[in-house]
Amino acid sequence: MNFSTYQEKAKETIQKNASEDKHSEIVPFLGIIGEIGSVVTQLKIKFRDGEAYVAFKIKLAEELGDVLWYLSTIATQNGLSLEEVATQNLAKIHDRFLVDDVSSYKDFDSIYPELERFPDEFEIEFQCFTENGKNKLKIIDKSDNQLIGDPLTDNTYEDDGYRFHDIFHYGYLAALGWSPVLRKLLKKKRKSDPTIDENEDGARSQITEELVSLFIYHHALDHDLLKYSKSVDSGIIKKVQNLVMNTEVSECSGKQWEKAILNSYAMFNQLRENNGGRILVSKKNRALIYLGKK
């Protein structure tokens, strides 16, 4: 039986309530809360009685069926198709957890002149130094030993290591093939297409990228800078995707964003712990690799 057929059959069993009509749509919401409690009760009994509870699967199926009825009723009363809800949910969770094939990643540079493309792979070095009693950092392109951008500080009252945060931009470049900030710093803006240069590589996109980095950073502060994290909260991923929804990187999946974030923070923590070091930025392998201090 498909969801559409189930929803039509379930609709025939929706009962009129004795209370006012305005309460009729509330009852299924309250009902599903009760049924979820019944589902959890089955787990409690399973824990309590162990293998002796031979009716576990039968009872669990019954309670899950009741949950499904309430879900179907809520959808019906609000003009939603249960079939479409299920389809949209599968697309959402597929994007979040399964889209992880490197060959499927979008190459935002492929149609542009070589001089406007990010390198497939290059090495940079984060060099720390002290000036006027303040900890500073410079990033060196190891291909020509030239400085990339200006020296950085934490831009705050405390020494919290945020001066290393440019690694996040390199993480986006490596994992997603995207970074308006680095297009400017590396002189890789796609000027051959004025529309793309303005809308994708311009100031607004650069600000969006910085906002994304700061947003994730404040989340990471509450999770020990993701030192021991194997995943990123789906709510955070969704908010990041909302922030970039009007840019080309909106085509990247939630799973790709998660990999970019976790890889970037692994490098961020190594750079802080070692007070700098060399990083291989590999777009072809969609990853950053810490190479050590020297």
CATH label of the domain that carries residue 40? 1.10.287.1080
Tell me what pLDDT residue 249 has. Answer: 95
Last-in-domain residue among 97, 115, 136? 97
Residues 50 and 191 reside in one and the same domain:
no
Residues 207 and 180 reside in one and the same domain:
yes
CA atoms 250, 253, 254, 256: torsion sign: negative
Count of structural domains within the chain:
2
Residues 117 and 33 reside in one and the same domain:
no
In which residue are the tokens 């979040």 written? 96
Interacting residues of 173 by C-beta distance below 8 A, sequence separation 6+: 118, 179, 182, 281, 283
Q: State the DSSP code for 159.
A: -
Interacting residues of 201 by C-beta distance below 8 A, sequence separation 6+: 180, 183, 184, 189, 190
Tell me what pLDDT residue 20 has. Answer: 58
Q: Where do runs of H (alpha helix) occur along 179-253? A: 180-185, 194-199, 203-221, 234-243
Tell me what pLDDT residue 99 has. Answer: 59
**237 phi, psi to nearest 5 deg:** -60, -45
Global pTM value: 0.80
Tell me what pLDDT residue 100 has. Answer: 64
Tell me what pLDDT residue 102 has. Answer: 65
Residues 147 and 277 reside in one and the same domain:
yes
In which domain, by residue range, is 143 found?
A: 104-292
Residues 28 and 145 reside in one and the same domain:
no
Residues 76 and 112 reside in one and the same domain:
no
- Number of neighbouring beta carbons within 10 Å of residue 6: 15
Residues 51 and 195 reside in one and the same domain:
no
Long-range contacts of 50-57 (CB under 8 A, 24+ apart): none
Tell me what pLDDT residue 19 has. Answer: 57
Residues 146 and 207 reside in one and the same domain:
yes
**126 phi, psi to nearest 5 deg:** -95, 110
* Low-confidence spans in the chain with pLDDT less than 70: 17-22, 98-104, 157
Tell me what pLDDT residue 241 has. Answer: 95
Tell me what pLDDT residue 206 has. Answer: 97
Last-in-domain residue among 97, 117, 134? 97
Residues 282 and 149 reside in one and the same domain:
yes
